[in-house]
Amino acid sequence: KQPVFKQFQLGMFEVGRSLGKGKFGRVYLARERQTGFICALKVLHKNEIVQGRVEKQVCREIEIQSNLRHPNVLRFYGYFYDSKRIFLILEYAAKGELYKHLQKARRFSESRAAQYIAQMTSALRYLHSKRVIHRDIKPENILLGRHGELKMADFGWSVHAPSGRRITKCGTLDYLPPEMVDPRRCQNPYDEKIDLWSLGVLMYELLVGSAPFEDTPSMTQKRIARGDMKIPSFVSSEAKDLIRKRIPLEKVQQHPWIMKHCLAGEK
Ligand SMILES: Clc1cnc2c(Nc3ccc(N4CCOCC4)cc3)nc(-c3cccnc3)cn12
């Protein structure tokens, strides 16, 4: 039966520790008093949103998020606001940020990377089926659930880590495809192919530990436009094949490299 719709408000939650700092505020662990339900509370400061002139984006992102239901997309439960802040009630991702795990591991095994790419592909197929694109696929925007499952967590504004190299990568060019760094080839920048390109960059970064075109901003632009990427020899030939090609998402899940590592063998 449908739960009775209720107005959310701050008093309904016990707010716990800070999980991290966002661009427009912080994310806290929270528990809903009545049910004991654990969630994450993202607090956005209105004045910063107005100054950043992103109020339309915030509304659009809330609108989009409210309709998404997928195991690999961080769930959005609702929102409320007071005079100064907007609060987003989000699913708590118990294993935190993917890139923290990547930093610790330096790089992931092909099997672990393949699981993440398969889950990412599943999430992207779902989002594209809802005409939702350009989810800004970067390790910073990916969280891990209690069982280590991947959760796409970015909806338009990324959360900044408190420390580490990622600060320099905010607004990074690393993940942009050729058509976006090379104005001569400007085609409709916001279509699904963007996500395919970023998926390849993400796959490279999970396997190698750094982004393929990481360089000075101007060099990165040139290298992306030229597709000048070196893949280290420790990367298997099947993985190399998948990184280099921008194949449709449904083909990704049938790729030998994914099939080999993902026992489930996504349909
Ligand atoms: Cl939205 C949202 C839902 N869940 C989270 C989350 N979860 C989470 C879990 C566990 C740990 N820890 C696990 C033990 O070692 C210490 C870190 C951190 C974050 N973090 C962020 C976040 C945001 C910004 C910076 N950094 C983390 C946003 N989140």
Give pLDDT tens digits for 47-102: 888 888 888 778 877 888 888 999 999 999 999 999 999 999 999 999 999 999 99
Active site residue 136: yes
Query: What per-residue confidence (pLDDT) applies to 252?
Result: 95
43 lines ligand 1 (CB under 6 A): no
Q: What Å distances lie between residue 202 and 22, 75, 84, 221, CA to CA?
A: 21, 22, 36, 17
pLDDT at residue 254, rounded to an integer: 93
Separation of 96 CA from ligand 1 center, angstroms? 4
- Cα–Cα distance between 81 and 47 in angstroms, integer? 13
ipTM score above 0.95: yes
Determine if ligand 1 sits within 6 Å of the CB of residue 38: no
pLDDT of residue 168: 34
Encoded tokens for 234: 């420790």
What number of other Cβ atoms are within 10 A of residue 210's Cβ?
A: 14
19 lines ligand 1 (CB under 6 A): yes
Query: Separation of 206 CA from ligand 1 center, angstroms?
Result: 19
Amino acid letter, 41: L
Structure tokens at 246: 């921008």
Structure tokens at 163: 């420390």
Which residues of the chain have a pLDDT value below 70?
1-5, 23, 134-135, 155-171, 183-190, 264-267
DSSP, residue by residue, 57-116: HHHHHHHHHHT--BTTB--EEEEEE-SSEEEEEE---TT-BHHHHHHHHSS--HHHHHHH
Nearest-atom index, ligand 1, CA of 90: 1
Q: Give, for ligand 1, the residue of 18, 19, 26, 101 to mutate: max count of ligand atoms closer than 8 Å to Cβ.
A: 19
- Nearest residue by C-alpha to atom 12 in ligand 1: 96
